[in-house]
């Protein structure tokens, strides 16, 4: 082998080695919204709008949403950006994290869909937003009066938007750049409980009640005026020991399967919660058997179950029930 060929091969080997080292240290971005949620979040909720959009129930809901906002700056913003939420948004992820002693803390909302970044940037700037260059990506700091001085929006790409407090948006951009380090998908915080929900459900939520201590002190104040109030008060008392709530709903045609699970290590609280839930269901069946006898079977089909971890309630809300709820709501807002 002559010297020229040896040198050529040596250069090739060194180049490949350099590329391998560079790849090993390359930033592994993530586009998974759950990877952008901080592991220490107190709550996380996911809504798959694209699934709802394709269902008969979702079509009714979105039809009402499209006609809700016809005036005001919100409607003007949608017109200027060309955004139709019911058509252009596929997934919404909402998370809340406590900030020190603040009971509300930082809010983070991640949108997946189809977005015109140029039109959105122009619309934000027209409302006083200023473009900021953060270490992990650019974002718009919202002007006072449009989400507050602490509000921000990151137009990441045509399929991903991040909104919330400025601290939350900057943190989410950082987790995106680091491949989700410190996010839910790293298996920390609420990430340890992702197996408690079906992530393919139409909507689901996890609530870490230990990070929301204020919620454990309110419902016990219910005044007992009826047997049902007593059951509600018993549920409120049992909920004081519940550390995690897992909620989910799945649209199937024009019906919705729903379930809720409360986790507690206290056996007495589990028994109290189970008994109280059964009692409330029984009272509801008695209350509606004359006015809406067709719904008695719906409530009777709900199941209350318990195991060594917690108590669950699950059932199906049929189209008739959902339509009656919608009609009641429409009548109340007229």
Give the three-state DSSP class for 329: helix
Distance CA 306, CA 314 (A): 12
Angle between helices 267-288 and 227-239 in degrees, nearest 10: 150
For residue 217, give the nearest of 236, 244, 243, 242 by alpha carbon: 236
**Phi, psi of 304, deg, nearest 5:** -115, 120
DSSP letters for 255-309:
EEEEEEEEE-S-HHHHHHHHHHHHHHHHHHHHHHTTT-GGGHHHHHT-EEEE-SS
For residues 165 and 106, the answer to whether their CB atoms sit within 8 Å is yes
Are the beta carbons of 277 and 259 closer than 8 angstroms?
A: no
Sequence-separated (6 or more) residues with CB below 8 Å from residue 218: 236
Instruction: Answer whether 237's CB lies under 8 Å from 272's CB.
Output: yes
Per-residue pLDDT of the chain (334 residues), as tens digits, is 565 565 566 555 455 544 454 444 445 678 899 999 999 999 999 999 888 777 766 666 555 555 555 557 788 888 999 998 888 999 999 999 876 555 557 899 999 999 999 999 999 999 999 999 989 999 999 987 544 458 999 999 999 999 999 999 999 999 999 999 999 999 889 999 999 999 999 999 999 998 875 544 444 444 445 555 666 677 777 778 899 999 999 998 878 999 999 999 999 999 999 998 998 899 888 888 888 887 888 889 999 999 999 999 999 988 777 666 665 555 555 5
What pLDDT is attached to residue 274? 92
3-class DSSP state of 103: strand
Phi and psi for 48 in degrees, rounded to 5? Answer: -90, 90
Instruction: Yes or no: say if 315 and 321 are a contact pair by the CB < 8 Å rule.
Output: no
Strand order through the sheet with 151-157: 130-134, 137-141, 151-157, 160-165, 102-113, 89-99, 43-48, 203-208, 244-252, 255-263, 310-317, 303-306
What pLDDT, on the 0 to 100 scale, is given for residue 296?
87
The per-residue pLDDT for 214 is: 52
Return the biggest CA–CA distance within the chain: 99
How many Cα atoms occupy the beta-carbon half-sphere of 114 within 13 Å? 6
Instruction: With CA atoms as reference, report the closest residue to 260 among 325, 209, 204, 191.
Output: 204
Residue from 204, 277, 206, 292 nearest 243 by CA:
206
Cα separation of 25 and 267, whole Å? Answer: 49
- Token match 């007495």: residue? 268
């Amino acid at each position: 082998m002559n010297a020229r060929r040896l040198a050529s091969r040596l250069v090739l080997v060194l180049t490949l080695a350099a590329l391998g080292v560079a790849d090993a240290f390359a930033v592994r971005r993530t586009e998974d919204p759950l990877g952008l949620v901080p592991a220490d979040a107190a709550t996380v909720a996911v809504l798959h709008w694209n699934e709802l959009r394709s269902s008969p129930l979702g079509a009714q809901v979105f039809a009402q949403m499209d006609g809700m906002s016809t005036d005001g700056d919100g409607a003007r913003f949608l017109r200027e950006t060309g955004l139709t939420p019911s058509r252009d948004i596929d997934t919404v992820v909402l998370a809340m994290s406590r900030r020190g002693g603040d009971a509300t803390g930082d809010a983070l909302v991640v949108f997946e869909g189809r977005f015109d970044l140029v039109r959105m940037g122009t619309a934000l700037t027209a409302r006083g937003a200023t473009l900021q260059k953060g270490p992990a990506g650019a974002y718009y700091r919202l002007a006072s009066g449009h989400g507050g001085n602490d509000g921000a929006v990151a137009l990441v790409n045509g399929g991903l938007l991040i909104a919330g407090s400025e601290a939350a948006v900057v943190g989410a951009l950082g987790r995106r750049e680091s491949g989700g380090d410190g996010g839910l998908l790293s298996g920390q915080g609420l990430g340890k409980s992702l197996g408690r929900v079906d992530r393919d459900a139409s909507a689901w939520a996890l609530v870490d009640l230990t990070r929301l201590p204020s919620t454990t002190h309110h419902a016990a104040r219910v005044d007992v005026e009826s047997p049902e109030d007593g059951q509600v008060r018993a549920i409120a008392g049992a909920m004081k020991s519940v550390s995690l709530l897992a909620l989910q709903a799945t649209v199937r045609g024009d019906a919705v399967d729903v379930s809720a699970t409360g986790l507690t290590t206290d056996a007495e609280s589990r028994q109290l919660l189970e008994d109280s839930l059964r009692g409330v269901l029984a009272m509801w069946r008695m209350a509606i058997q004359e006015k809406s006898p067709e719904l008695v079977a719906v409530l009777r089909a709900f199941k209350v179950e318990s195991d060594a971890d917690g108590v669950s309630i699950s059932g199906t809300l049929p189209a008739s029930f959902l339509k009656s709820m919608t009609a009641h709501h429409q009548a109340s807002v007229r």
